Protein backbone atom coordinates (compact mmCIF):
# COMPACT_ATOMS: atom_id res chain seq x y z
CA UNK A 1 0.00 0.00 0.00
CA UNK A 2 2.80 2.45 0.87
CA UNK A 3 4.48 1.74 -2.47
CA UNK A 4 1.27 2.46 -4.38
CA UNK A 5 0.78 5.75 -2.52
CA UNK A 6 4.36 6.83 -3.19
CA UNK A 7 4.01 5.95 -6.86
CA UNK A 8 0.82 8.02 -7.21
CA UNK A 9 2.25 11.06 -5.43
CA UNK A 10 5.60 10.89 -7.19
CA UNK A 11 3.88 10.91 -10.58
CA UNK A 12 2.18 14.25 -9.93
CA UNK A 13 3.91 17.28 -11.40
CA UNK A 14 4.39 20.30 -9.16
CA UNK A 15 2.80 22.57 -11.77
CA UNK A 16 -0.32 20.40 -11.79
CA UNK A 17 -0.63 20.74 -8.02
CA UNK A 18 -0.17 24.51 -8.22
CA UNK A 19 -2.77 24.71 -10.97
CA UNK A 20 -5.24 22.68 -8.90
CA UNK A 21 -4.63 24.87 -5.84
CA UNK A 22 -5.03 28.11 -7.82
CA UNK A 23 -8.20 26.83 -9.44
CA UNK A 24 -9.71 25.73 -6.13
CA UNK A 25 -8.89 29.04 -4.44
CA UNK A 26 -10.25 31.08 -7.34
CA UNK A 27 -13.48 29.11 -7.70
CA UNK A 28 -14.11 29.25 -3.96
CA UNK A 29 -13.37 32.97 -3.83
CA UNK A 30 -15.75 33.74 -6.70
CA UNK A 31 -18.49 31.67 -5.04
CA UNK A 32 -17.98 33.56 -1.76
CA UNK A 33 -18.02 36.96 -3.51
CA UNK A 34 -21.19 36.08 -5.43
CA UNK A 35 -22.87 34.93 -2.22
CA UNK A 36 -21.74 38.05 -0.36
CA UNK A 37 -23.49 40.22 -2.93
CA UNK A 38 -26.54 37.93 -2.71
CA UNK A 39 -26.60 36.65 -6.27
CA UNK A 40 -29.30 33.99 -6.54
CA UNK A 41 -27.27 31.59 -8.70
CA UNK A 42 -23.78 32.15 -7.29
CA UNK A 43 -22.61 28.87 -8.80
CA UNK A 44 -22.38 30.60 -12.20
CA UNK A 45 -19.58 32.78 -10.84
CA UNK A 46 -17.68 29.69 -9.71
CA UNK A 47 -18.29 27.87 -13.00
CA UNK A 48 -17.07 30.88 -14.98
CA UNK A 49 -13.95 31.10 -12.82
CA UNK A 50 -13.27 27.41 -13.42
CA UNK A 51 -13.34 28.09 -17.16
CA UNK A 52 -11.11 31.18 -16.89
CA UNK A 53 -8.54 29.38 -14.74
CA UNK A 54 -7.79 26.83 -17.46
CA UNK A 55 -5.75 29.33 -19.47
CA UNK A 56 -2.73 31.56 -19.08
CA UNK A 57 -3.44 35.20 -18.25
CA UNK A 58 -3.02 36.38 -21.85
CA UNK A 59 -5.27 33.68 -23.27
CA UNK A 60 -7.77 34.01 -20.43
CA UNK A 61 -8.01 37.78 -20.90
CA UNK A 62 -8.69 37.51 -24.63
CA UNK A 63 -11.38 34.85 -24.23
CA UNK A 64 -12.83 36.46 -21.11
CA UNK A 65 -13.41 39.70 -22.97
CA UNK A 66 -15.39 37.80 -25.61
CA UNK A 67 -17.24 35.92 -22.87
CA UNK A 68 -18.13 39.19 -21.14
CA UNK A 69 -19.30 40.88 -24.35
CA UNK A 70 -21.32 37.84 -25.38
CA UNK A 71 -22.89 37.47 -21.95
CA UNK A 72 -23.81 41.16 -21.90
CA UNK A 73 -25.34 40.89 -25.36
CA UNK A 74 -27.37 37.77 -24.49
CA UNK A 75 -28.52 39.30 -21.21
CA UNK A 76 -29.52 42.55 -22.90
CA UNK A 77 -31.47 40.86 -25.69
CA UNK A 78 -33.07 38.51 -23.18
CA UNK A 79 -34.05 41.36 -20.86
CA UNK A 80 -35.45 43.54 -23.64
CA UNK A 81 -37.14 40.98 -25.87
CA UNK A 82 -37.95 37.80 -23.94
CA UNK A 83 -40.72 39.34 -21.79
CA UNK A 84 -42.60 40.29 -24.96
CA UNK A 85 -42.28 37.16 -27.08
CA UNK A 86 -44.34 34.04 -26.54
CA UNK A 87 -42.34 31.25 -24.93
CA UNK A 88 -41.51 28.43 -27.27
CA UNK A 89 -39.02 26.87 -29.59
CA UNK A 90 -39.80 29.12 -32.56
CA UNK A 91 -39.23 32.37 -30.64
CA UNK A 92 -36.10 30.92 -29.06
CA UNK A 93 -34.69 29.86 -32.44
CA UNK A 94 -35.49 33.25 -33.96
CA UNK A 95 -33.69 35.04 -31.14
CA UNK A 96 -30.65 32.76 -31.42
CA UNK A 97 -30.56 33.57 -35.13
CA UNK A 98 -30.85 37.27 -34.28
CA UNK A 99 -27.91 36.90 -31.87
CA UNK A 100 -25.86 35.48 -34.75
CA UNK A 101 -26.81 38.35 -37.05
CA UNK A 102 -26.01 40.93 -34.34
CA UNK A 103 -22.68 39.22 -33.63
CA UNK A 104 -21.80 39.27 -37.33
CA UNK A 105 -22.86 42.92 -37.70
CA UNK A 106 -20.65 43.87 -34.74
CA UNK A 107 -17.78 41.78 -36.15
CA UNK A 108 -17.75 39.56 -33.07
CA UNK A 109 -16.38 36.06 -33.39
CA UNK A 110 -18.10 32.79 -32.62
CA UNK A 111 -16.91 32.80 -29.02
CA UNK A 112 -18.91 35.95 -28.24
CA UNK A 113 -21.88 34.57 -30.20
CA UNK A 114 -21.68 31.29 -28.29
CA UNK A 115 -21.78 33.03 -24.90
CA UNK A 116 -24.53 35.40 -26.05
CA UNK A 117 -26.61 32.39 -27.08
CA UNK A 118 -25.91 30.50 -23.86
CA UNK A 119 -26.94 33.51 -21.78
CA UNK A 120 -30.06 34.05 -23.86
CA UNK A 121 -30.99 30.38 -23.41
CA UNK A 122 -30.55 30.60 -19.65
CA UNK A 123 -32.55 33.82 -19.43
CA UNK A 124 -35.35 32.61 -21.71
CA UNK A 125 -35.70 28.92 -21.01
CA UNK A 126 -35.17 28.50 -17.28
CA UNK A 127 -38.41 29.17 -15.43
CA UNK A 128 -37.96 31.59 -12.54
CA UNK A 129 -40.14 33.65 -10.26
CA UNK A 130 -38.32 36.94 -10.89
CA UNK A 131 -38.88 39.17 -13.94
CA UNK A 132 -36.74 38.37 -16.97
CA UNK A 133 -34.75 41.64 -16.84
CA UNK A 134 -33.73 40.86 -13.23
CA UNK A 135 -32.72 37.32 -14.21
CA UNK A 136 -30.68 38.70 -17.12
CA UNK A 137 -28.92 41.22 -14.90
CA UNK A 138 -28.13 38.54 -12.31
CA UNK A 139 -26.70 36.28 -15.00
CA UNK A 140 -24.44 39.06 -16.29
CA UNK A 141 -23.20 39.95 -12.80
CA UNK A 142 -22.62 36.28 -11.88
CA UNK A 143 -20.50 35.72 -14.97
CA UNK A 144 -18.70 39.04 -14.49
CA UNK A 145 -17.75 38.11 -10.92
CA UNK A 146 -16.37 34.80 -12.16
CA UNK A 147 -14.34 36.46 -14.90
CA UNK A 148 -12.92 39.18 -12.66
CA UNK A 149 -11.94 36.79 -9.86
CA UNK A 150 -10.41 34.31 -12.32
CA UNK A 151 -8.39 36.99 -14.09
CA UNK A 152 -7.26 38.63 -10.84
CA UNK A 153 -6.09 35.37 -9.34
CA UNK A 154 -4.36 34.39 -12.58
CA UNK A 155 -2.52 37.73 -12.56
CA UNK A 156 -1.71 37.75 -8.84
CA UNK A 157 -0.73 34.07 -8.59
CA UNK A 158 0.99 33.16 -11.85
CA UNK A 159 1.93 29.55 -12.26
CA UNK A 160 4.30 29.64 -15.20
CA UNK A 161 3.90 26.92 -17.81
CA UNK A 162 0.63 25.04 -17.42
CA UNK A 163 0.99 21.26 -17.38
CA UNK A 164 -2.48 20.00 -16.67
Q: Give CA–CA dist 155/43, Å, rounded.
A: 22
Q: Would you say 6 and 29 are in contact if contact means Cβ atoms under 8 Å apart? A: no
Q: Report the C-alpha gap between 29 and 41 in whole angstroms.
A: 15
Question: How far is C-alpha 9 from the geometric centre of its chain's CA atoms?
Answer: 32
Cα gap 39→52, rounded to integer Å: 20
149, 33 contact by CB (below 8 A): yes
| pLDDT, tens digit, 9 for 90 and up, residues 105-159 | 999 999 999 999 999 999 988 888 899 999 999 999 999 999 999 999 989 988 7
Domain range list for the chain: 13-156
Report pLDDT for 118.
94
Reported pTM: 0.81
- State pLDDT tens for residues 96-112: 999 999 999 999 999 99
Amino acid sequence: MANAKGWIVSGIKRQSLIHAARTAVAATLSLVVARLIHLPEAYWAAITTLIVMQSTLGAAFAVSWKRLVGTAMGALVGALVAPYVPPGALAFGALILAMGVISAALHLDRTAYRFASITLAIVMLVVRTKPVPVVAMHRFVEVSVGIVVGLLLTALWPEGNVAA
